[in-house]
Structure 1
Amino acid sequence: MPRPMLMSIWSIILRLTNRQGDWRMLSGWYHSHPGYGCWLSGIDVSTQMLNQTFQEPFLAVVVDPTRTVSAGKVEIGAFRTYPEGYKPPDEPISEYQTIPLNKIEDFGVHCKQYYSLDITYFKSSLDSHLLDLLWNKYWVNTLSSSPLLGNGDYVAGQISDLAEKLEQAENQLAHSRFGLLLAPSQRKKEEESQLAKITRDSAKITVEQVHGLMSQVIKDILFNSVRQSTKSCAETSDPEPMIES
């Protein structure tokens, strides 16, 4: 979205807020990255920079609903951008996350323009009440659902992305053997770093699938064993037929 249009939208939001006499000002915005992690793209960075220009404090929140379902924990991130022209120290990323191959370029170009914030979240009494209502209505669907079946397309996409990364790494390693621009130690370090990332991505996929299988096994033991024991008790409680001599 062009910068003038964003400025117009922001001014409209401020006017509407002041007109309604609401003392609560906007303190951030959020959006989702379904299946490709919590980080800021180039468009996100531009939007957040503009927001920080007009109001402070202001933060950007990113949620990944697909990975949340697959991993069984909330995938969420909060970020702020550095001032324009600021160069952060060259430090490694504190927490590794899997980035799909088609998003790596966008991630790498802008990853030094923002920083992540520590997140703590809580559940209010109203949240607890709403969750109880949802659980009472959807508990059967929750217990009968499986992340392995519900996220089949996502898992297939992960495996396909991993295969593309392996193919790309193989091609780069083959070309680097004939290159003379890099020192042997530096070349080996880059090769190990690239393969290490692929290994971590593969391990992440495996762990999530194992967790999904474990949950299915637990459900099977919990519910099917009760049904079988009930059936066996019913069979033993039936009166035996009398045999006349």
Structure 2
Amino acid sequence: MTSKELVSQSINQNSASNSPLNASTSARETWETENNIESILGPVDEYFKYDVKVHQSIVNAKPWEKDPHYFKCIKISAVALLKMLIHARSGGNLEVMGLLIGKVAHQTMIVVDSSPLPVEGTETRVNAQAEAYEYMTTYKEVVARVGRTENVLGWYHSHPGYGCWLSGIDVSTQLTNQTYQEPFVAIVIDPIRTISSGKVNLGAFRTYPVGYRPPDDGPSEYQSIPMDKIEDFGVHCKHYYSLEVSHFKSVLDKRLLDSLWNKYWVNTLSSVSILAQPDYLAGLTKDLAEKVEHAGSSVSQR
């Protein structure tokens, strides 16, 4: 179901009472269902309690050095997810970047929060400059003062309209982070495809060590890569792997989640017409035409 259909359905269901609140609530329930947001009904310590000793013992053991596929899954809180979505959509067609806060539990990475970084991006790339790294250091110091002891667990950035994968620059950035800041994960989110489908378009990745040859994993989940990105995607797609992604929420973050959803909902109402924008549709049509032409040329040369 697209965001436009989601909004229309919610408004129609509540037209009798003409209540924006009911429409927002209905849309949120649909969004949580579409994205499989798990509600934590029992103890939440497993997700939110940070044990410095346990974390440090894992860091000291460095199990990922023996097994490049050590981390298999990543769990992302709904709060962190909505923060990333709001930030990514605020950038429009420009890439944005931010921090992931959390911890590790065995072979699972748990993201409990996210925070934007003051990084300048373009329509094709985003780089962490000196001011971004300085901000990261200051951020860690400030959150520690208010009792937040979780570590920076990774970074996220957006790919507006061209899917979730790591470019050559992304691979280099993630490889550097894994060398000096383990454990570390990279998340890529596509705000435009998220708006068009109503389901969050997001991927989580870790890079392989230099020189490592991964086994043939077989075909991965299909995603459309724009023609002008295919070469970059193909050259580097064997340098990293994807983690299984899931999302969760708890009663502890209900108030914050309510506030974030209201902001996200307003932004959704103001941008549901994105598929009707000439530039977006023209870009999709042009990309499809180029792929058909390329496929035809390849066949004729055989």
Aligned with 1:105: secondary structure?
A: helix
Partner of 2:254: 125
Correspondence for 2:165 = 39
Shift of 1:132: 5.4
Matches within 5 A, 1:11-160: 12=134, 16=138, 20=142, 22=144, 23-123=149-249, 124-131=253-260, 133-134=262-263, 138=266, 142=269, 145-149=272-276, 151-160=277-286
Letter in 2 for 1:36: Y
Q: What amino acid sits opposite 1:79 in the alignment?
A: F
Point out where structure 1 has 5 or more consecutive residues left out of the alignment: 177-245
Q: Which has the larger radius of gyration?
A: 1
The corresponding residue for 1:174 is 300
Tell me which protein shows more helix as a share of its residues.
Answer: 1
Deviation at 1:133, TM superposition (A): 3.8
Counterparts in 2 of 1:117 and 1:135: CA distance versus 1, 3 Å: closer
Distance 1:9 1:146, change over 3 A: closer
RMSD, aligned α-carbons:
3.1
TM-score (norm 2): 0.49
For residues 114 and 155 of structure 1, do their structure 2 counterparts lie closer, same or farther at Cα, with a shift above 3 Å needed? same
Q: CA deviation at 1:13?
A: 6.1
* Structure 1 outlier segments of 4+, above 3 Å: 5-21, 131-136, 143-148
How many residue pairs were aligned? 169
Q: Verify the 8 A CA contact 1:17 1:25 in the aligned structure 2.
A: no
| TM-score, normalisation: structure 1 | 0.60
Q: Structure 2: which 5+ runs fail to align?
A: 1-126
Partner amino acid, structure 1, of 2:287: D
Percentage of identical aligned residues: 51
Distance 2:196 2:234 in 1: 25
Contact 1:30 1:61 in 2 (8 A): yes
CA contact (8 A) 2:140 2:151 kept: no
Measured against aligned partners, the alpha-carbon deviations of 1:160-179 in whole angstroms (never above 9, x if no partner) come to: 10100111111111111xxx
Q: Per-residue displacement from partner, 1:90-132 (whole Å, max 9, x unpaired)?
A: 2323201000000000000000000001111234313432145
